[in-house]
Structure 1
Amino acid sequence: MKKELLIVAHAPSDNTAALSRAAFDAANNYAPDDLMVRLLSPFDVQAKDVIKADGVIIGTTENIGYMAGATKDMFDRCYNNWIDICAGKSVGVYIRAGLDGTATTHALNSILTGLRWRMMAPPLVLHGTWNPAFIDDVAELSLGMAAGMDAGIF
Protein backbone atom coordinates (compact mmCIF):
# COMPACT_ATOMS: atom_id res chain seq x y z
CA MET A 1 0.00 0.00 0.00
CA LYS A 2 1.34 3.40 -0.99
CA LYS A 3 2.10 5.87 1.73
CA GLU A 4 1.26 9.53 1.19
CA LEU A 5 3.51 12.49 1.86
CA LEU A 6 1.73 15.83 1.76
CA ILE A 7 3.86 18.92 1.17
CA VAL A 8 2.08 22.10 2.21
CA ALA A 9 4.10 25.00 0.91
CA HIS A 10 3.44 28.71 0.79
CA ALA A 11 5.25 29.86 -2.35
CA PRO A 12 4.58 33.54 -3.08
CA SER A 13 7.79 34.09 -5.09
CA ASP A 14 9.89 32.35 -7.71
CA ASN A 15 12.43 31.42 -5.03
CA THR A 16 9.88 29.89 -2.66
CA ALA A 17 8.26 28.11 -5.61
CA ALA A 18 11.69 26.59 -6.36
CA LEU A 19 11.84 25.37 -2.75
CA SER A 20 8.43 23.71 -2.94
CA ARG A 21 9.27 22.12 -6.29
CA ALA A 22 12.57 20.80 -4.85
CA ALA A 23 10.70 19.26 -1.92
CA PHE A 24 8.20 17.62 -4.26
CA ASP A 25 10.77 16.36 -6.76
CA ALA A 26 13.13 14.92 -4.14
CA ALA A 27 10.38 12.91 -2.44
CA ASN A 28 8.61 11.94 -5.65
CA ASN A 29 11.81 10.67 -7.27
CA TYR A 30 12.84 8.66 -4.20
CA ALA A 31 10.23 5.90 -4.26
CA PRO A 32 7.62 6.60 -6.93
CA ASP A 33 6.11 3.10 -6.63
CA ASP A 34 5.79 3.20 -2.84
CA LEU A 35 5.11 6.83 -2.05
CA MET A 36 2.48 9.22 -3.35
CA VAL A 37 3.59 12.83 -3.00
CA ARG A 38 1.15 15.73 -3.10
CA LEU A 39 1.97 19.43 -3.11
CA LEU A 40 -0.67 21.91 -1.97
CA SER A 41 -0.83 25.57 -1.07
CA PRO A 42 -1.94 26.15 2.52
CA PHE A 43 -4.98 27.93 1.08
CA ASP A 44 -6.01 24.69 -0.68
CA VAL A 45 -5.52 22.34 2.27
CA GLN A 46 -8.62 20.86 3.81
CA ALA A 47 -8.55 18.95 7.10
CA LYS A 48 -9.05 15.64 5.26
CA ASP A 49 -5.85 16.17 3.24
CA VAL A 50 -3.68 16.01 6.34
CA ILE A 51 -5.80 13.34 8.02
CA LYS A 52 -5.21 10.90 5.16
CA ALA A 53 -1.50 11.72 4.72
CA ASP A 54 1.07 9.52 6.44
CA GLY A 55 3.51 12.42 6.73
CA VAL A 56 3.54 16.17 6.16
CA ILE A 57 6.14 18.74 5.23
CA ILE A 58 5.23 22.34 5.96
CA GLY A 59 7.03 25.08 4.08
CA THR A 60 6.35 28.66 5.03
CA THR A 61 7.82 32.08 4.71
CA GLU A 62 8.45 34.31 7.66
CA ASN A 63 6.52 37.54 7.29
CA ILE A 64 6.95 40.39 9.76
CA GLY A 65 8.57 37.99 12.21
CA TYR A 66 5.83 35.33 12.02
CA MET A 67 4.71 32.47 9.80
CA ALA A 68 2.97 33.40 6.58
CA GLY A 69 -0.69 34.33 6.90
CA ALA A 70 -1.50 31.51 4.47
CA THR A 71 0.07 28.96 6.81
CA LYS A 72 -1.66 30.49 9.83
CA ASP A 73 -4.97 30.42 7.93
CA MET A 74 -4.55 26.67 7.34
CA PHE A 75 -4.02 26.03 11.03
CA ASP A 76 -6.92 28.32 11.96
CA ARG A 77 -9.28 26.39 9.67
CA CYS A 78 -8.11 22.85 10.37
CA TYR A 79 -6.47 22.64 13.79
CA ASN A 80 -9.55 21.51 15.72
CA ASN A 81 -10.26 18.81 13.14
CA TRP A 82 -6.73 17.45 13.52
CA ILE A 83 -6.59 17.25 17.32
CA ASP A 84 -6.41 13.63 18.46
CA ILE A 85 -7.13 12.26 14.96
CA CYS A 86 -3.63 13.18 13.76
CA ALA A 87 -1.67 12.67 16.98
CA GLY A 88 1.70 11.13 16.19
CA LYS A 89 1.74 12.39 12.59
CA SER A 90 5.29 12.77 11.23
CA VAL A 91 6.14 16.28 10.13
CA GLY A 92 9.05 18.20 8.70
CA VAL A 93 9.26 21.99 8.51
CA TYR A 94 11.21 24.48 6.45
CA ILE A 95 11.02 28.23 6.92
CA ARG A 96 12.24 30.80 4.41
CA ALA A 97 13.13 33.63 6.75
CA GLY A 98 14.55 36.98 5.77
CA LEU A 99 15.31 37.49 9.45
CA ASP A 100 16.30 34.73 11.86
CA GLY A 101 13.12 32.61 11.88
CA THR A 102 12.94 32.49 15.69
CA ALA A 103 9.33 33.61 16.12
CA THR A 104 8.08 31.42 13.27
CA THR A 105 9.97 28.41 14.64
CA HIS A 106 8.53 29.03 18.10
CA ALA A 107 4.97 29.44 16.79
CA LEU A 108 5.13 26.28 14.66
CA ASN A 109 6.69 24.27 17.49
CA SER A 110 3.84 25.37 19.77
CA ILE A 111 1.17 24.42 17.22
CA LEU A 112 2.76 21.08 16.36
CA THR A 113 3.27 20.24 20.03
CA GLY A 114 -0.40 20.99 20.66
CA LEU A 115 -1.33 18.64 17.82
CA ARG A 116 1.13 16.04 19.18
CA TRP A 117 2.79 15.68 15.79
CA ARG A 118 6.29 14.18 15.68
CA MET A 119 8.99 16.42 14.24
CA MET A 120 11.38 14.35 12.15
CA ALA A 121 14.12 16.96 12.61
CA PRO A 122 14.44 20.48 13.97
CA PRO A 123 12.85 23.05 11.65
CA LEU A 124 15.08 23.95 8.72
CA VAL A 125 15.46 27.73 8.80
CA LEU A 126 16.71 29.26 5.56
CA HIS A 127 17.57 32.77 6.72
CA GLY A 128 19.23 35.79 5.25
CA THR A 129 19.44 36.79 1.62
CA TRP A 130 18.51 34.20 -0.98
CA ASN A 131 21.05 31.44 -1.43
CA PRO A 132 20.60 28.86 -4.20
CA ALA A 133 21.89 26.23 -1.73
CA PHE A 134 18.51 26.56 0.04
CA ILE A 135 17.05 24.46 -2.77
CA ASP A 136 19.38 21.57 -1.96
CA ASP A 137 18.69 21.94 1.77
CA VAL A 138 14.93 21.61 1.23
CA ALA A 139 15.41 18.70 -1.17
CA GLU A 140 17.51 16.94 1.48
CA LEU A 141 14.82 17.48 4.13
CA SER A 142 12.17 16.07 1.80
CA LEU A 143 14.35 13.15 0.74
CA GLY A 144 14.94 12.32 4.40
CA MET A 145 11.22 12.35 5.05
CA ALA A 146 10.54 10.13 2.03
CA ALA A 147 13.26 7.67 3.01
CA GLY A 148 12.05 7.56 6.60
CA MET A 149 8.49 6.92 5.50
CA ASP A 150 9.59 4.24 3.02
CA ALA A 151 11.63 2.51 5.74
CA GLY A 152 8.76 2.70 8.23
CA ILE A 153 10.65 5.03 10.57
CA PHE A 154 8.15 7.85 10.13
Structure 2
Amino acid sequence: MKHLLIVYASQTGHTFMMAESVRRGAMQLADEVETRMLPALQAGLDDLLWCDALLLGTPENFGYMAGALKDFLDRTYYPAQGQVEGLPFAVFISAGNDGTGALTAIERIARGYPLQNMAPPIICKGELTAMVLLACEELGATAAAGLSCGLW
Protein backbone atom coordinates (compact mmCIF):
# COMPACT_ATOMS: atom_id res chain seq x y z
CA MET A 1 0.00 0.00 0.00
CA LYS A 2 1.32 3.43 -0.97
CA HIS A 3 0.84 6.54 1.18
CA LEU A 4 -0.30 10.02 0.16
CA LEU A 5 0.00 12.94 2.59
CA ILE A 6 -2.03 16.12 2.19
CA VAL A 7 -0.80 18.98 4.39
CA TYR A 8 -2.73 22.23 4.33
CA ALA A 9 -3.19 25.54 6.11
CA SER A 10 -6.50 27.36 6.03
CA GLN A 11 -7.98 30.36 7.80
CA THR A 12 -11.05 31.26 5.75
CA GLY A 13 -11.89 27.68 4.81
CA HIS A 14 -11.05 28.04 1.11
CA THR A 15 -7.85 26.03 1.26
CA PHE A 16 -9.58 23.46 3.47
CA MET A 17 -12.27 23.03 0.79
CA MET A 18 -9.55 22.61 -1.82
CA ALA A 19 -7.80 20.03 0.40
CA GLU A 20 -11.07 18.14 0.86
CA SER A 21 -11.47 18.02 -2.92
CA VAL A 22 -7.90 16.74 -3.28
CA ARG A 23 -8.64 14.06 -0.66
CA ARG A 24 -11.88 13.09 -2.40
CA GLY A 25 -9.98 12.53 -5.64
CA ALA A 26 -7.31 10.45 -3.92
CA MET A 27 -9.96 8.32 -2.20
CA GLN A 28 -10.98 6.95 -5.60
CA LEU A 29 -8.04 4.57 -5.16
CA ALA A 30 -8.48 3.96 -1.42
CA ASP A 31 -7.89 0.22 -1.88
CA GLU A 32 -4.40 0.91 -3.21
CA VAL A 33 -3.35 4.24 -1.67
CA GLU A 34 -3.82 5.28 1.93
CA THR A 35 -4.43 9.01 2.23
CA ARG A 36 -3.76 11.12 5.30
CA MET A 37 -4.93 14.76 5.41
CA LEU A 38 -3.58 16.98 8.19
CA PRO A 39 -3.56 20.66 9.10
CA ALA A 40 0.01 21.93 8.78
CA LEU A 41 0.37 22.59 12.51
CA GLN A 42 -0.53 18.95 13.27
CA ALA A 43 1.65 17.35 10.60
CA GLY A 44 5.18 16.38 11.51
CA LEU A 45 8.29 14.49 10.54
CA ASP A 46 6.73 11.05 11.09
CA ASP A 47 3.94 11.95 8.66
CA LEU A 48 6.42 13.18 6.07
CA LEU A 49 8.57 10.05 6.37
CA TRP A 50 5.41 7.89 6.14
CA CYS A 51 4.32 9.25 2.77
CA ASP A 52 5.26 8.28 -0.77
CA ALA A 53 3.90 11.56 -2.18
CA LEU A 54 3.07 14.96 -0.67
CA LEU A 55 0.42 17.52 -1.58
CA LEU A 56 0.77 20.97 0.00
CA GLY A 57 -2.09 23.46 0.27
CA THR A 58 -1.94 27.05 1.46
CA PRO A 59 -3.65 30.38 1.21
CA GLU A 60 -1.59 33.23 -0.12
CA ASN A 61 -0.88 35.57 2.80
CA PHE A 62 0.84 38.85 1.98
CA GLY A 63 2.22 37.27 -1.19
CA TYR A 64 3.63 34.29 0.73
CA MET A 65 2.57 30.86 2.00
CA ALA A 66 0.68 30.61 5.29
CA GLY A 67 2.84 30.69 8.39
CA ALA A 68 1.47 27.28 9.44
CA LEU A 69 2.73 25.64 6.25
CA LYS A 70 6.08 27.38 6.59
CA ASP A 71 6.21 26.05 10.16
CA PHE A 72 5.66 22.47 8.90
CA LEU A 73 8.43 22.88 6.35
CA ASP A 74 10.74 24.44 8.96
CA ARG A 75 10.10 21.65 11.49
CA THR A 76 10.72 18.85 9.00
CA TYR A 77 13.45 20.27 6.76
CA TYR A 78 16.62 19.34 8.62
CA PRO A 79 15.39 16.12 10.27
CA ALA A 80 14.19 14.85 6.86
CA GLN A 81 17.49 15.49 5.07
CA GLY A 82 18.63 12.40 3.19
CA GLN A 83 15.30 10.62 3.82
CA VAL A 84 12.89 12.22 1.34
CA GLU A 85 15.05 12.91 -1.70
CA GLY A 86 12.93 12.74 -4.83
CA LEU A 87 9.65 12.57 -2.92
CA PRO A 88 6.93 13.65 -5.40
CA PHE A 89 4.97 16.75 -4.41
CA ALA A 90 2.44 19.21 -5.81
CA VAL A 91 0.91 22.46 -4.57
CA PHE A 92 -2.55 24.01 -4.40
CA ILE A 93 -3.04 27.65 -3.42
CA SER A 94 -6.01 29.86 -2.62
CA ALA A 95 -4.83 33.30 -3.68
CA GLY A 96 -6.16 36.79 -3.21
CA ASN A 97 -3.53 38.07 -5.66
CA ASP A 98 -1.75 35.87 -8.18
CA GLY A 99 -0.31 33.19 -5.86
CA THR A 100 3.15 33.36 -7.40
CA GLY A 101 4.89 34.53 -4.24
CA ALA A 102 3.57 31.57 -2.24
CA LEU A 103 4.37 29.16 -5.06
CA THR A 104 7.90 30.48 -5.53
CA ALA A 105 8.64 30.17 -1.80
CA ILE A 106 7.31 26.60 -1.61
CA GLU A 107 9.19 25.52 -4.73
CA ARG A 108 12.44 27.04 -3.41
CA ILE A 109 12.13 25.12 -0.15
CA ALA A 110 11.11 21.94 -2.00
CA ARG A 111 14.32 22.10 -4.05
CA GLY A 112 16.26 22.08 -0.77
CA TYR A 113 14.76 18.82 0.51
CA PRO A 114 14.97 17.93 -2.55
CA LEU A 115 11.44 17.01 -3.62
CA GLN A 116 10.29 16.19 -7.16
CA ASN A 117 7.43 18.18 -8.68
CA MET A 118 4.75 15.78 -9.94
CA ALA A 119 2.05 18.12 -11.26
CA PRO A 120 1.47 21.75 -12.17
CA PRO A 121 0.27 23.90 -9.26
CA ILE A 122 -3.39 24.75 -8.85
CA ILE A 123 -3.79 28.43 -8.05
CA CYS A 124 -7.29 29.69 -7.33
CA LYS A 125 -7.33 33.45 -7.79
CA GLY A 126 -10.26 34.91 -5.88
CA GLU A 127 -13.38 32.96 -5.02
CA LEU A 128 -13.48 29.18 -5.23
CA THR A 129 -15.39 27.80 -8.18
CA ALA A 130 -16.66 24.35 -9.04
CA MET A 131 -13.98 24.23 -11.74
CA VAL A 132 -11.18 24.83 -9.22
CA LEU A 133 -12.55 22.18 -6.86
CA LEU A 134 -12.76 19.74 -9.77
CA ALA A 135 -9.13 20.50 -10.64
CA CYS A 136 -8.21 19.78 -7.01
CA GLU A 137 -10.09 16.49 -7.12
CA GLU A 138 -8.24 15.59 -10.31
CA LEU A 139 -4.93 16.44 -8.62
CA GLY A 140 -5.71 14.01 -5.80
CA ALA A 141 -6.79 11.31 -8.25
CA THR A 142 -3.68 11.85 -10.36
CA ALA A 143 -1.38 11.63 -7.35
CA ALA A 144 -3.05 8.44 -6.16
CA ALA A 145 -3.02 6.88 -9.64
CA GLY A 146 0.66 7.72 -10.07
CA LEU A 147 1.44 6.06 -6.75
CA SER A 148 -0.75 3.08 -7.54
CA CYS A 149 0.91 2.33 -10.87
CA GLY A 150 4.44 2.99 -9.62
CA LEU A 151 5.02 6.21 -11.55
CA TRP A 152 6.25 7.77 -8.30
CA–CA separation in structure 2 for the residues paired with 1:111 and 1:37:
23
3-state secondary structure, aligned to 1:145: helix
Q: Which amino acid aligns with 1:54?
A: D
> Greater CA deviation, 103-112 or 127-136?
127-136
Shift of 1:38: 0.5
Superimposed CA distance per residue, residues 92-115 of structure 1 (whole angstroms, 9 cap, x where no aligned partner) = 111111100111111011001111
In structure 2, the residue matched to 1:58 is: 56
1:94 to 92, 95, 98: 92
CA–CA separation in structure 2 for the residues paired with 1:57 and 1:26:
12
Runs of 4+ in 1 over 4 A off after TM superposition: none
CA–CA separation in structure 1 for the residues paired with 2:136 and 2:8:
11
Q: TM-score, normalised by structure 2?
A: 0.95
Superimposed CA distance per residue, residues 117-154 of structure 1 (whole angstroms, 9 cap, x where no aligned partner) = 11102222111333232211111111111111111001
CA–CA separation in structure 1 for the residues paired with 2:98 and 2:111:
21
Shift of 1:82: 1.5
> Greater CA deviation, 8-17 or 113-122?
8-17
3-state secondary structure, aligned to 2:137: helix
Q: TM-score, normalised by structure 1?
A: 0.93
Shift of 1:45: 0.8
Q: Which amino acid aligns with 2:143?
A: M
Q: Which amino acid aligns with 1:135?
A: L
Answer whether contact 1:11 1:20 (CA < 8 A) is retained: no
The within-5 A match list for 1:2-151 is 2-28=1-27, 30-151=28-149
Shift of 1:73: 0.8
Shift of 1:12: 2.1
Unaligned runs of 5+ in 2: none
Shift of 1:25: 1.2
CA–CA separation in structure 1 for the residues paired with 2:84 and 2:32:
22
Answer whether contact 1:5 1:35 (CA < 8 A) is retained: yes
3-state secondary structure, aligned to 2:41: helix
CA–CA separation in structure 2 for the residues paired with 1:113 and 1:17:
25
Answer whether contact 2:29 2:141 (CA < 8 A) is retained: no
RMSD: 1.2
How many residue pairs are counted as aligned between the two chains? 152
CA–CA separation in structure 2 for the residues paired with 1:53 and 1:132:
28
Q: Which amino acid aligns with 1:17?
A: F
